[in-house]
């Protein structure tokens, strides 16, 4: 495809200079040209007075597409290439409201739609078309676009530009407010005008003041009332109806968005709901989500997990995960010993056998006496047998030291097993969750985030996360609770009774749901990201984590470790002492009998 330069006959030199300078504020601009009754026009390159290429597209039957289809085409000098970026500026040439509305609907249903782009409307019908400025701009506002210019010729054949501010009677000093009288019932909606020649002559250093044309109208809403929605709960979301204004919202999630709206100087009307917005099994939005889609509310004040498949304008400003909370399983001492492992007891037996054999050769005794001496060494009881040679004595000392160390480690292990918690986690990984066959309870909106089919089939919705914890406190070990780690902290934490899994069932970000094509989206997201970059988001959540209180059962208290918990260890020690005393007594008797027998044999030999 060769390079083609097209001059649009409907645009005068002043308009071309205006568009050429202000539309090209970014090099990567993608400009959409829409002309009434011009479906035959080819898609090609166009440049204005400075011959700087700006990509212009004509929407026709060949390029129509739904917004879900993410392929468009960018023409250059050699080929048609795929281009994925929505338009940054739409130049619409129309002569009446009906045709303008059709063209806007055509753009909105195309792959290039972006309500935050610059829209320039040029009326080419006849002279004195400026009387339609209010009607054109009011219709443009129905599509939730703020950056709009309406260019026309008045009765004096002057080119005039019009724009509006839906929130206040405020505009840069170049603009002149137009008295609407009774044309609008909205007292905040204002219409402004200025001549194109004024724009050109007011430029500084030969450059146009483009910021004055598409000025920021969302910076200060001047008390505009916005409709919002929230799901109110008694635990996680603190809402004080006795207070006024934004002081009603005290939880971190509410405080964040309330701070943003307060910074924008907006007021809010709140719609309450008992359930979160969610998608039904039939794919239909329910509750707050339905209010958001239908346009009843601007945003939902509850912080939600980011759903990448929802067609909403949202960005994450805080990372969060979903964990599983379950009851710990109660086990006995023998089960604890079983958890030590068979290898430990095999090593203990081999070490004891090697120690006994060593004593047999060092003390020159039978294997049974060597085993008894091994027990005496382990129990710390002295004995009278001493090796005859110095080398054997040194080896015996080394064995005694080794026995003391080994005995201390063994007793420490037994003490630790007895004094440790008699409850162990059941669910700590995805495999544990599958093996447990536990029914998973959580708020209805969480099911959409769980992609594992085995887990989704066992998921049951509850009105609030606290309802699941109430069942856990009653000892129901057949269930597990799913929830964000932050919200779980309101109901319980890692303790003697509860276990919070290391497994993250869902890794996602926190966001607020904002209505599609909301004109305030960019400003809200920009303020939230600035708060996140400055550390204010983490500060709010950290403070809330410090002040929240964990709920436990009235009849449950964490058991303290006392001497009564060590009765098994002391029973074993007392038993060993008794056995050692009996062995000592038996050795004394045996030694006395051998002594008497040897004396009797000596007397007989003398006789």
Taking residues 267-292, what's their average pLDDT? 79
- Are the C-beta atoms of 132 and 140 separated by less than 8 Å? no
Question: Is the confidence at residue 46, as pLDDT, over 60?
Answer: no
pLDDT digits (tens, 9 = 90+) for 384-397: 567 777 777 788 77
Q: Are strands 159-165 and 118-123 parallel, antiparallel or unpaired?
A: unpaired
Q: Residue 230 pairs with which residues in a beta bridge? A: 272
Beta-carbon count within 10 A of 280 CB = 12
What are the structure tokens assigned to 173, written together? 């000093």
pLDDT digits (tens, 9 = 90+) for 240-279: 677 777 777 777 777 888 889 989 999 988 888 877 777 6
Task: Return the closest-CA partner of residue 567 out of 465, 423, 418, 450.
Answer: 418
- Between 150 and 312, the more confident residue is 150
- Return the sign of the alpha-carbon dihedral for residues 529, 535, 540, 545: positive
- Are the C-beta atoms of 133 and 152 separated by less than 8 Å? yes
Which single residue is written with the structure tokens 């920009």?
526
Question: Is the confidence at residue 114, as pLDDT, over 60?
Answer: yes
pLDDT digits (tens, 9 = 90+) for 501-523: 887 877 777 788 888 888 998 89
Q: What is the pLDDT of residue 368?
A: 78
- Name, in order, each residue with C-beta under 8 angstroms of 442's C-beta and a sequence gap of 6 or more: 322, 459, 461, 462, 465, 468, 481, 482, 483
Question: Is the confidence at residue 57, as pLDDT, over 60?
Answer: no
Taking residues 88-102, what's their average pLDDT? 85
pLDDT digits (tens, 9 = 90+) for 342-369: 787 788 788 888 888 888 888 777 887 7
| Banded pLDDT at 87 (limits 50, 70, 90) | confident
pLDDT digits (tens, 9 = 90+) for 156-190: 878 888 999 999 888 888 888 988 766 666 678 89
Q: Domain ranges in the chain?
A: 8-213, 225-313, 333-419, 424-552
Instruction: Check if 8-213 and 225-313 are the same fold.
Output: no
| Banded pLDDT at 17 (limits 50, 70, 90) | low
- Return the sign of the alpha-carbon dihedral for residues 442, 446, 448, 449: negative
Report the alpha-carbon distance of residue 441 to residue 467 in Å, rounded.
Answer: 9
Annotate 264-288 with DSSP letters as a single string: TTEEEEEEEESS--EE-TTS-EETH
Domain 8-213 is found in CATH 3.40.50: yes
- Are the C-beta atoms of 20 and 50 separated by less than 8 Å? yes
Question: Is the confidence at residue 461, as pLDDT, over 80?
Answer: yes
Question: Is the confidence at residue 52, as pLDDT, over 60?
Answer: no
Taking residues 32-44, what's their average pLDDT? 51
| Banded pLDDT at 479 (limits 50, 70, 90) | confident
Taking residues 459-471, what's their average pLDDT? 83
- Are the C-beta atoms of 508 and 308 separated by less than 8 Å? no
- Name, in order, each residue with C-beta under 8 angstroms of 83's C-beta and a sequence gap of 6 or more: 30, 72, 73, 74
CATH topology of domain 225-313: D-Maltodextrin-Binding Protein; domain 2 (3.40.190)
């Amino acid at each position: 495809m060769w390079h083609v330069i097209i001059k649009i006959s409907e645009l005068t030199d002043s308009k071309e200079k205006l568009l050429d300078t202000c539309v090209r504020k970014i090099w990567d601009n993608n400009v959409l040209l829409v002309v009434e009754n011009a479906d035959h026009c080819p898609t090609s390159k166009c440049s204005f007075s400075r011959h700087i290429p700006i990509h212009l597209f004509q929407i026709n039957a060949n390029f129509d597409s739904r917004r879900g289809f993410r392929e468009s085409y960018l023409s250059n000098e050699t080929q048609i290439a795929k281009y994925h970026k929505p338009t940054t500026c739409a130049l619409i040439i129309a002569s009446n409201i009906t045709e303008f509305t059709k063209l806007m609907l055509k753009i909105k249903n195309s792959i290039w739609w972006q309500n935050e782009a610059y829209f320039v409307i040029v009326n080419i019908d006849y002279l004195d078309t400026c009387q339609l400025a209010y009607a054109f701009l009011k219709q443009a506002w129905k599509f939730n676009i703020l950056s709009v210019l309406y260019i026309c010729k008045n009765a004096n054949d002057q080119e005039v530009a019009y724009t509006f501010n839906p929130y206040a009677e405020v505009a840069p000093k170049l603009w002149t407010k137009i008295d609407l009288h009774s044309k609008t019932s909205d007292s905040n909606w204002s219409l402004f005008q200025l001549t194109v020649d004024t724009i050109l002559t007011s430029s500084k250093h030969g450059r146009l003041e483009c910021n004055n044309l598409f000025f920021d109208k969302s910076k200060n809403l001047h008390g505009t009332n916005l409709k919002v929605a929230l799901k109110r709960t008694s635990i996680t979301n603190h809402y004080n109806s006795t207070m006024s204004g934004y002081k009603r919202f005290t939880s971190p999630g509410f405080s964040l968005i309330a701070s943003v709206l307060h910074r924008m100087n907006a007021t809010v009307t709140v719609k309450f709901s008992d359930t979160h917005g969610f998608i039904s099994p039939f794919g239909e939005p329910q509750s707050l989500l339905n209010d958001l889609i239908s346009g009843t509310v601007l945003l939902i004040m509850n912080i939600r997990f980011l759903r990448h498949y929802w067609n909403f304008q949202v960005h994450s400003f805080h990372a969060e995960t979903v964990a599983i909370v379950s009851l710990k399983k109660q086990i006995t001492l023998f089960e604890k010993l079983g958890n030590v492992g068979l290898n430990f007891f095999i090593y203990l037996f081999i070490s004891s056998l090697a120690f006994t054999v060593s004593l047999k050769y060092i003390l020159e005794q039978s294997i049974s006496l060597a085993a008894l001496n091994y027990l005496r060494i382990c129990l710390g009881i002295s004995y009278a047998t001493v090796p005859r040679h110095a080398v054997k004595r040194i080896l015996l000392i080394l064995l005694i030291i080794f026995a003391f160390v080994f005995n201390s480690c063994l007793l420490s292990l037994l003490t630790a097993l007895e004094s440790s918690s008699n409850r162990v986690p059941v669910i700590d990984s995805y495999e544990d969750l599958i093996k447990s066959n536990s029914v998973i309870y959580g708020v209805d909106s969480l099911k959409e985030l769980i992609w594992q089919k085995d887990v989704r089939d066992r998921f049951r919705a509850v009105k609030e996360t606290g309802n699941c914890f109430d069942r856990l406190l009653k000892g129901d070990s057949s269930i597990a609770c799913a929830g964000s780690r932050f919200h779980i902290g309101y109901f319980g934490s890692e303790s003697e009774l509860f276990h919070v899994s290391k497994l993250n069932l869902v890794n996602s970000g926190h966001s607020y749901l904002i209505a599609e094509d909301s004109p305030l989206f960019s400003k809200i997201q920009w303020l939230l990201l600035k708060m996140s970059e400055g550390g204010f988001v983490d500060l709010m959540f950290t403070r809330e984590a410090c002040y929240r209180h964990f709920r436990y059962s009235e009849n449950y208290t964490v058991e303290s470790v006392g001497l009564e918990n060590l009765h098994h260890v002391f029973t074993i020690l007392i038993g060993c002492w008794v056995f050692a005393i009996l062995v000592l007594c038996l050795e004394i008797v045996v030694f006395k009998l051998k002594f008497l027998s040897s004396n009797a044999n000596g007397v007989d030999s003398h006789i």
